[in-house]
Chain A
Amino acid sequence: MILLAFACAPDLADRIVWDDGEPTPPLDTGSGPPTSVDVSPDGAGWRATVDARDPELWVALDLDVPSGVLPETPGWDLRFSRFDISANGGITGDGGVEAVFLPEGDELAVPTQGWISDAPDGEDDGDTPDYAMSTWYAYDSETHVLTPHPGTWLVRSTGGAIFPLQIVRYYDDAGSSAVFELTWGEPL
C-alpha cells in the first residue's frame, strides 16, 4: 500500500515539448486549425493551396478573380471543408457552377453532356448532399488515404468561363489531410 501511495508518474502531456516548442495542450485546438486559400500564378494558369482542415468551416475559391474568398461573397465558385468540395450551383447557390470530370487520357474538350451541379442527397446510405465533385477521390480503406482520380475537372464558373482544374493532392508536406493543392489553366 505504501508503494502505491507513492506511485504516480507526472502527466505525459506536460512532459512533452510539442513540435512547435511550446507545451501546447494537445486536445485544445481552440477555434481549429487555420483555414485559408493561397493562390499564385503557375505558368499560364494558377495554383492554389486550400486549407480546409476545419470541419466546421467552408473555405471558398473564386476561379475567375482568382482568389480565396469568404463563402458568403458573391461570385465564389468552389468551397471546401475537409474532403467535401461544393460548387456554387444547384441546391448550394445560384451561381450556376457545374462540373464534369475528364479522366486522364481523354481529350480536353468541352462536352455537351455530363455536367453536374450540387444536388440533394440521392439514394445512398449517407445524408450528405450529392456535391458536383463528390467523386474526386479514391479511398484506400486499408490506409485511409484519399487520392485524387487522375484527370481534369472542367468547372463552369459563376462568370461563365470553363476552367480546366486538377486536384493535385489532398495532404500537405507534414502529412496533414484536407490541405488541397489545385491547379487550373486559362478558360477553354
Chain B
Amino acid sequence: MLIALLTAHAADGEDVAEVVVVTATRSERAAGDQPVAVQVIDRATLEATGAESLAELLQEQPGIQIDQTVTGASIRLQGMEPEHTLILIDGQRVLGRKDGVIDLARLSLQDVERVEIVKGPSSALFGSDAMGGVVNIVTRRGTSASAGTHVRAGLPGRLDADADATVPTPLGVHRLSASWHSAASWDRDPSTPATDSSAFEQRSLDYKGTFDTSEDSELTLAAGYQVRDLRGLDSTAVGAVLDRYQTVEDGRASIRGWVTPTASTRVAWSLGTGWYRDQFALDQRGSKDLDQHSDTHEANGEGSVQVDVSAGRHFVTVGLDGLYQRLRSDRLGTGDARRFRGAVFAQDVWARPVGDAELQVSPGLRLDVDSQFGRALTPRVAASLGRERAIVRAATGLGFRAPDFRELYLLFENPGAGYVVVGTDDLRPERSANVNGGVEVTPVDGWSVSVSGFANAIRDLVSITDLSLQPGALQRYGYANVGRASTAGGELGMRGAMGPLTLTSTAAYTRSRDLDADRPLPGRSPLIVTGAATLDLGRHASVRTQANASSSRVHYASSADGDRAVVTPGRLTTDVRASWRPPAKTGSLELFAGVDNLLDDPGSPGSPLPPRFVYAGFTTRTTPMAP
C-alpha cells in the first residue's frame, strides 16, 4: 500500500514523505502515500524559518501569496480569493472572516506540530470554502514530560514569548501552553497620518489532553482562548484622522476520539465549538461624526462521524458532517443570523500494482444540504501512479463556497464616506471546477524535482455591485452572483543537498482572468519565485537564508470614466537567520538571531511590507532526567 517515495517535502529541508497527514484524504496516511499532493511544513522546518505566525510562515512557501490588507494578512492559493481557502485547526473551522479574510497574523505557531496544505478544490471532503485549497493546522500533542520556553525580541518593537508544559498522568497526557505577543505599528506612507499596520498585544492560553483509553481507541480534549488588542490610525482623503481600536477574541473547544472495532475498521468522531468576538471602533479626532463602533459575535458548532474501512485493495471512507453557524452583529440588517448545514461524504482509495509501480484511484463525493442555499454536490476524482523514484498525480473536482452572513444580510451605512452596503438574502454558492496534475521525480538521492499545473473555472462569484439610484449621491452597494473568472498556472520546484548545503527553489506562475470584464483579476502577482538555502556550519550552528520575489500586480481604480488600471511594482523579501544548538544532556537549547526583509522592500501601497526587522532570541526544552 505504501509507496515509499519522496513525494512530499517540507518546503525547506527534511523529507517528510513518511509524515502522517490527514488533510488530503481526511484519513491518517503517510504524506508520500497520498493520491492528492499535500505540502507539509513540519515542526523542524517551521522553527527553522523563525516565523511566529501563520502569515509569516506561509509568506515563504511556494505558490502562496500572502498580503497585508486592511482586514489582516490574507492568503491566495492558485490565484483564488482569500475566502476560497479553508483554514482549519485540527480539522475545525477557524472563525472570524472579515471581508473574506481570516487574518493569518493572529494564528500563532507555538502550538503547531505541522501545517498541511492541499491546493485545489477539496470541497468533496471539507465542503464550503475549499475551492482554492485547504490549510490545516495540526496542533502539538504532549507525549512525555517536558517544559519549553521561547522568547524572541526585535526591532522595531516586537516581543514574542511563549511557554508550555506537558504532564503525563495515569489518566492521560496534558499539555498546557501560554503565549504573549506584542508589536508596534508601522507605516510605509508618511504622506498620510494613517498607519499601515496596527500595534497589537496578543495573549493566549491553550490546553490539550490526550487520553489513551486503550490501544484501540483514543480520546482528545482541547480548548483554547486568545485575545488580541489592536490600535492604529486611519485617515480620509479630506483630512479626517481616526483612532482605530479593535479587540478580537477567539475561543475553541473540542472533544474527539477514535476506536478501531476491527483490525480493518476505524471510527472517528468529533464535536467542536468555536466562538469569535470582534469589537471595532473608530474615534474621529476633533469630532464624533465619523465615530463608529461595531460588536460582532460569531459562533459555530461542528460535529462529525467518519468510518474508514480497509478491504483488500480498497480504503473506503464514509462520513457525516454537521455545521451550525451563527452571527450577531449590529451591521446585519437582521441583527442575528443563523443556519445549519449537514453533509454526507464518501471516498474510496483503490490501489493496485502496475508493473513495479502502484496505481491509486480515488473517487469521492460529498453532498451538503444548507438551510439557506439548499444543496451542493461536489465530486472529486484523483489518481496517482508511483514507483521508486517518480510519481505522477492528476485530479479533477468541483468546489463551492457558501455566501457568508455579511453578503446575505449586511446593512452598513457610512454617510460620512457617502456609501451604503446591503446584503442580498437569496445568493447562491459560488462554484468552481478544477483540473490539476503533477510529476515529482527523485533522479538521485538527495535531489528532487517537481512540476505541476492547474486550471480553475469559477462561476456565480459574489461581487459587489453598484445599486445607486442617484449617481453621485449616497452610493448604494449590494451583492450579486454575477462574476465569472478563471485561473490557471503551474509550479516548478527543486530541492537538493550538497554536503552541508541544502537548497530549495520554486517558481509559480498564475494567469487569472475576470471573464466578464475580460481583464486580469486584481491583486495577483502572476509570478512568484522562492528560494532558500541552509548551510550547516558545524559545531551545531547553521545559517539559513530565504528569498521571495513576486512580480507586479494590477489593481483597478474606479472613476467617472470607468475603471483605471493601476500597476503596483513587484517585491523582493530576503530573510537571514542563524542558530546555534549547543549539546545538552537533557532537553535542548537554541540561540538564534536574524533579519527579516533584509533589503527593506516597502511592498506596494495596496499591500505594504513590514520594515526591516532585526531580532534575537532563544528556545529551550527541558525534559526530566531518567530515574
In the bound complex, what is the Cα–Cα distance between A9 and B292 (angstroms)? Answer: 19
In the bound complex, what is the Cα–Cα distance between A154 and B240 (angstroms)? Answer: 31
- Which of chain A's residues 110-166 have a Cβ closer than 8 Å to chain B? 124-128, 137-146
A173 touches B286 (CB 8 A): yes
B224 touches A176 (CB 8 A): no
Given contacts A19-B287, A27-B293, A144-B417, contact A125 B207 (CB under 8 A): no
Asked if B465 CB lies within 8 Å of chain A CBs, one says no
In the bound complex, what is the Cα–Cα distance between A176 and B240 (angstroms)? Answer: 7
B287 touches A141 (CB 8 A): no
CB distance from A150 to the nearest CB of B (A): 16
In the bound complex, what is the Cα–Cα distance between A143 and B475 (angstroms)? Answer: 11
In the bound complex, what is the Cα–Cα distance between A127 and B473 (angstroms)? Answer: 11
B247 touches A144 (CB 8 A): no
In the bound complex, what is the Cα–Cα distance between A171 and B235 (angstroms)? Answer: 14
In the bound complex, what is the Cα–Cα distance between A20 and B288 (angstroms)? Answer: 9
In the bound complex, what is the Cα–Cα distance between A158 and B416 (angstroms)? Answer: 32
- Which of chain B's residues 283-309 have a Cβ closer than 8 Å to chain A? 283-293, 295
In the bound complex, what is the Cα–Cα distance between A132 and B4 (angstroms)? Answer: 80
Residues of B contacting A16 in the complex (Cβ-Cβ under 8 angstroms): 245, 281, 283
Additional 19 contacts, C-beta under 8 A, given A26-B281, A55-B415, A171-B239: A3-B224, A12-B245, A12-B279, A13-B281, A13-B293, A18-B283, A18-B288, A19-B286, A19-B291, A24-B288, A124-B471, A127-B469, A137-B472, A139-B560, A140-B559, A141-B558, A144-B419, A171-B240, A176-B240
Which residue in chain A gives the minimum CB-CB distance to B239? A175
Contact with A along B252-286 (1 / 0, CB 8 A): 01000000000000000000000101011101111
Given contacts A1-B253, A7-B249, A144-B417, contact A173 B288 (CB under 8 A): no
In the bound complex, what is the Cα–Cα distance between A139 and B559 (angstroms)? Answer: 9
Asked if A103 CB lies within 8 Å of chain B CBs, one says no
Q: Which of B207, B238, B279 contacts A171 (CB 8 A)?
A: B238
Which residue in chain B gives the minimum CB-CB distance to A13? B293
Residues of B contacting A9 in the complex (Cβ-Cβ under 8 angstroms): 227, 229, 247, 249, 277, 279
Residues of A contacting B315 in the complex (Cβ-Cβ under 8 angstroms): none
Given contacts A1-B223, A142-B557, A174-B240, contact A19 B245 (CB under 8 A): no
Residues of B contacting A12 in the complex (Cβ-Cβ under 8 angstroms): 245-247, 279-281, 293, 295
A7 touches B251 (CB 8 A): yes
Asked if B371 CB lies within 8 Å of chain A CBs, one says no
Asked if A44 CB lies within 8 Å of chain B CBs, one says no
In the bound complex, what is the Cα–Cα distance between A19 and B238 (angstroms)? Answer: 19
Contact with A along B382-414 (1 / 0, CB 8 A): 000000000000000000000000000000000
Interface residues on B, range: 35 or more
Residues of B contacting A3 in the complex (Cβ-Cβ under 8 angstroms): 205-207, 223-225, 251, 253
Q: Which of B207, B238, B558 contacts A142 (CB 8 A)?
A: B558
Asked if A186 CB lies within 8 Å of chain B CBs, one says no
Asked if B71 CB lies within 8 Å of chain A CBs, one says no
Asked if A83 CB lies within 8 Å of chain B CBs, one says yes
In the bound complex, what is the Cα–Cα distance between A33 and B418 (angstroms)? Answer: 17
In the bound complex, what is the Cα–Cα distance between A144 and B229 (angstroms)? Answer: 29
Asked if B470 CB lies within 8 Å of chain A CBs, one says yes
Residues of B contacting A127 in the complex (Cβ-Cβ under 8 angstroms): 469
CB distance from A131 to the nearest CB of B (A): 11
A126 touches B470 (CB 8 A): yes
Q: Which of A128, A141, A144 contacts B560 (CB 8 A)?
A: A141
Residues of A contacting B223 in the complex (Cβ-Cβ under 8 angstroms): 1-4
In the bound complex, what is the Cα–Cα distance between A86 and B187 (angstroms)? Answer: 43
In the bound complex, what is the Cα–Cα distance between A4 and B249 (angstroms)? Answer: 11
Given contacts A144-B419, A144-B475, A176-B240, contact A4 B287 (CB under 8 A): no
Which residue in chain B gives the minimum CB-CB distance to A177? B416
Residues of A contacting B205 in the complex (Cβ-Cβ under 8 angstroms): 3
Residues of B contacting A26 in the complex (Cβ-Cβ under 8 angstroms): 281, 283, 288, 291-293
Residues of B contacting A2 in the complex (Cβ-Cβ under 8 angstroms): 223
Residues of A contacting B285 in the complex (Cβ-Cβ under 8 angstroms): 19, 174
Residues of B contacting A6 in the complex (Cβ-Cβ under 8 angstroms): 225
In the bound complex, what is the Cα–Cα distance between A124 and B473 (angstroms)? Answer: 12
Task: Name the residue among A9, A27, A125, A138 with the largest chain B CB count within 10 angstroms.
Answer: A9
Q: Which of B206, B283, B416 contacts A19 (CB 8 A)?
A: B283
Residues of B contacting A139 in the complex (Cβ-Cβ under 8 angstroms): 418, 471-473, 560
Task: Name the residue among B227, B283, B289 with the largest chain A CB count within 10 angstroms.
Answer: B289
Residues of B contacting A19 in the complex (Cβ-Cβ under 8 angstroms): 243, 283-288, 291
Which residue in chain A gives the minimum CB-CB distance to B249? A9
Residues of B contacting A53 in the complex (Cβ-Cβ under 8 angstroms): 289
In the bound complex, what is the Cα–Cα distance between A90 and B227 (angstroms)? Answer: 59
Q: Which of B206, B238, B277, B293 contacts A175 (CB 8 A)?
A: B238
Which residue in chain B gives the minimum CB-CB distance to A10? B247
In the bound complex, what is the Cα–Cα distance between A106 and B289 (angstroms)? Answer: 37
Asked if A65 CB lies within 8 Å of chain B CBs, one says no
Q: Which of A83, A140, A176 contacts B287 (CB 8 A)?
A: A176
B473 touches A128 (CB 8 A): yes
Given contacts A20-B288, A128-B473, A144-B419, contact A175 B240 (CB under 8 A): yes
> What are 14 of the A-B contact pairs (CB < 8 Å)?
A3-B223, A4-B253, A11-B279, A12-B281, A19-B285, A24-B288, A26-B283, A126-B469, A126-B470, A127-B469, A141-B560, A142-B557, A142-B558, A175-B235
In the bound complex, what is the Cα–Cα distance between A69 and B289 (angstroms)? Answer: 23
CB distance from A148 to the nearest CB of B (A): 12
Q: Sort A-B residue pairs by CB-CB distance and give the 3 closest, nearest first.
A: A175-B240, A126-B470, A174-B286
In the bound complex, what is the Cα–Cα distance between A175 and B292 (angstroms)? Answer: 15
A125 touches B475 (CB 8 A): no
Asked if B237 CB lies within 8 Å of chain A CBs, one says yes
In the bound complex, what is the Cα–Cα distance between A15 and B253 (angstroms)? Answer: 28
CB distance from A85 to the nearest CB of B (A): 13
Asked if A42 CB lies within 8 Å of chain B CBs, one says no
CB distance from A92 to the nearest CB of B (A): 18
Which residue in chain B gives the minimum CB-CB distance to A20? B288
CB distance from B39 to the nearest CB of A (A): 31
- Which of chain A's residues 49-63 have a Cβ closer than 8 Å to chain B? 53, 55
